[in-house]
Amino acid sequence: MTASDFDKIFSPYDPGDGKVRVRFAPSPTGQLHIGGVRTAIYNWAFARRNGGTFILRIDDTDPERSTEANTRAILDAMKWIGMDWDEGPEVGGPCEPYFQTQRAHIYQAALEKMKANGSVYPCFCSAEELAAKREANQKSAGYTGYDRTCRSLSPEEAQARIDAGESHVWRVKVPEDRGDIVFEDAIYGTCTFHADIMDDFIVMRSDGTPTYNFTTAVDDAIMGITHIIRGDDHLSNTPRQILVYEALGMKVPMFAHLSMILGPDGKRLSKRHGATSVQAFREAGYLPEAMMNYLSLLGWSLDGETTIFSLETLCNSFSIDRISRNPAIFDETKLAWVNSVYIKEMGAKRFVELAAPYLVSAGLTTAEEIESNRGWYEEIYPLVRERIKVMPEVVDAVAFLFRGTEVEFDEKSVAKVLGKEGVPEVIDSIIEVLGDDGLAWNAEAIEEAMRALLEKLGKKPKEVFQVARVALTGSMVSPPLFESIALLSREAVLARLESAKPIAQATFEAKQA
């Protein structure tokens, strides 16, 4: 291939409109984690805010740990949480392909350009030689990188050794006179790295595979990325990537390095803190909009006080200058609270959709039954909307509605409420009221009749309503009583009350003994 062939392959994309182009570039070596998805959200929201382009690129260069299943899981997690991408897998785009493993020819072309302008050189030092050099180096202060033995080989000698098939890597020739590498990070401010102590780092390994700093800089350059928003674990890679940009004669983008995310104990968020992947939170019953809302606040703030806002607000307001340099704390309790706010607001239709899988897998009902009886299921929503923080909690909260004539009693509730003197009589009078055929079977009518009973018996609400609650639901803690009764059938209610009577009697007697 000629130099012009390589130029054709290495042809940077520039839409020419000066608009923002950002990318999220996950390595598919595992699930999408909290830190990664936060980076994705910030890039996505930044693009949306600025009418720019959000690119998804898959950095799958680690052949051992990158899998298709992981890529799939990352795409699914991103979509689930509410992100879309303008270029990347599934949607394509002008910079195809978006998988690094399919871009080897581009890295090769970039390397050829760098060879031609003398910004890289081949290094023939063996692993053993390098190890020995490193050891010797450790004893001296200052520069501790590769000792640049091969940098002084003449081009002819280097070429002869390559032609003879000698194994070699390609290293960047850090320019002698480069001085400090200084860049303005949008979050960290001015960052200065001393080029004179920088290693002549490898861009192409001896097996022909490119390194992270090389592929990333080449792709970011060629894809016309204007802003690189990523974790600050990459801060120290930035000067190397800048050298690649310079060697290729490309404009260096803006950088914004995000502080890491810590657990509530102040330590870096990791598996020790429990679930950290988006998938795990999805399975735990968190809502995507709650996740998006909460995660966007891990380092950014809308106005310093608002904690609940929509996707639209995020996209209309996101700006890098509201990103904090301080590490953010991931607190699942706070996330659960945000989730509960969204549950309160989601409405009955969505509730049924989201609750259905949990109710079905707990064996309480079937998908067909839900389908044919939607109205009844929607009526459950007001009963639980303020009582559950995550969707799976719906099972315990409403299981009593599904047990027909059976009640699963909580011992403490039975002892405390049913074990009192006179309870069987109270239950009898409740049966009388609720068994009246003339009583309309809805919450309002039931409440009215029960309050009238209270008056008639001259008892406190607790003495009657709490008895009904435990007799019908098995527990002192349950959703609102009258609405719950209305959702049960009259037959089930009467049968449950009947069977609570002997239990109340026995509990009372046991207490006396």
- Tokens coding 98: 């978006």
- CA–CA gap between residue 170 and residue 75 (Å, rounded): 34
Would you count residue 27 as binding ligand GLU (CB under 6 A)?
A: yes
Choices 6-14, 23-31, 41-49, 272-280 (CB under 6 A): range interacting with ligand GLU = 23-31
Is 137 or 211 the residue whose CB approaches ligand GLU more closely? 211
**Helical segments of 154-287, H only:** 155-163, 212-222, 238-247, 278-283
Choices 20-28, 315-323, 335-343, 502-510 (CB under 6 A): range interacting with ligand GLU = 20-28
3-state secondary structure of 294: helix
DSSP code at position 209: P
Among 168, 230, 257, 501, binds ligand GLU (CB under 6 A): 230
Would you count residue 215 as binding ligand GLU (CB under 6 A)?
A: no
- CA–CA gap between residue 114 and residue 213 (Å, rounded): 14
Would you count residue 247 as binding ligand GLU (CB under 6 A)?
A: no
- CA–CA gap between residue 275 and residue 279 (Å, rounded): 9
How would you label 303-337 residue by residue, b for 16+ Cβ within 10 Å and e otherwise? Answer: eeeeebbebeebbebbebeebeeebbebebeebbe
DSSP code at position 91: T
- CA–CA gap between residue 343 and residue 389 (Å, rounded): 7
Distances (CA, A) of 454 to 63, 418, 424, 437: 73, 17, 15, 20
Q: Least distance in Å: CB of 46 to ligand GLU? A: 14
Among 32, 45, 59, 258, binds ligand GLU (CB under 6 A): 59
Would you count residue 240 as binding ligand GLU (CB under 6 A)?
A: no
Please identify the residue of the shown chain whose CB is closest to the bound ligand GLU: 59
Choices 21-29, 193-201, 404-412, 417-425 (CB under 6 A): range interacting with ligand GLU = 21-29
Q: How many helices (H) and strands (E) would you count in the chain? A: 23, 11
Is 75 or 391 the residue whose CB approaches ligand GLU more closely? 75
Would you count residue 216 as binding ligand GLU (CB under 6 A)?
A: yes
Is 228 or 503 the residue whose CB approaches ligand GLU more closely? 228
Among 6, 26, 390, 426, binds ligand GLU (CB under 6 A): 26
Among 133, 151, 234, 416, binds ligand GLU (CB under 6 A): 234
Q: Least distance in Å: CB of 500 to ligand GLU? A: 59
Choices 6-14, 24-32, 198-206, 467-475 (CB under 6 A): range interacting with ligand GLU = 24-32
Would you count residue 25 as binding ligand GLU (CB under 6 A)?
A: yes
- Verify whether residue 420 is a known catalytic residue: no
Choices 19-27, 384-392, 430-438, 447-455 (CB under 6 A): range interacting with ligand GLU = 19-27
For ligand GLU (CB under 6 A), the number of binding residues is 7
Catalytic residue among 173, 271, 344, 349: 271
Is 62 or 332 the residue whose CB approaches ligand GLU more closely? 62
Would you count residue 253 as binding ligand GLU (CB under 6 A)?
A: no
- CA–CA gap between residue 383 and residue 387 (Å, rounded): 8
- Tokens coding 285: 């019953």
Would you count residue 413 as binding ligand GLU (CB under 6 A)?
A: no
Q: Least distance in Å: CB of 80 to ligand GLU? A: 19
Q: Residue with structure tokens 């072309």?
A: 109
Is 25 or 426 the residue whose CB approaches ligand GLU more closely? 25
Give the CA angle between residues 23, 24, 25 to the nearest 5°: 110
What long-range pairs does 399-402 form, CB within 8 A, spacing at least 24? 399/362, 399/364, 400/472, 400/473, 400/474, 400/475, 400/478, 400/484, 401/484, 401/487, 401/488, 402/359, 402/364, 402/365
Choices 25-33, 171-179, 269-277, 423-431 (CB under 6 A): range interacting with ligand GLU = 25-33
Residue window 107-146: x/- pattern of binding to ligand GLU, with contact defined by CB under 6 A: ----------------------------------------
3-state secondary structure of 258: strand
Q: Least distance in Å: CB of 50 to ligand GLU? A: 19
3-state secondary structure of 342: helix
Is 13 or 441 the residue whose CB approaches ligand GLU more closely? 13
3-state secondary structure of 295: helix
What residues line the site for ligand GLU (CB under 6 A)? 25-27, 59, 216, 230, 234
Active site (catalytic) residues: 271
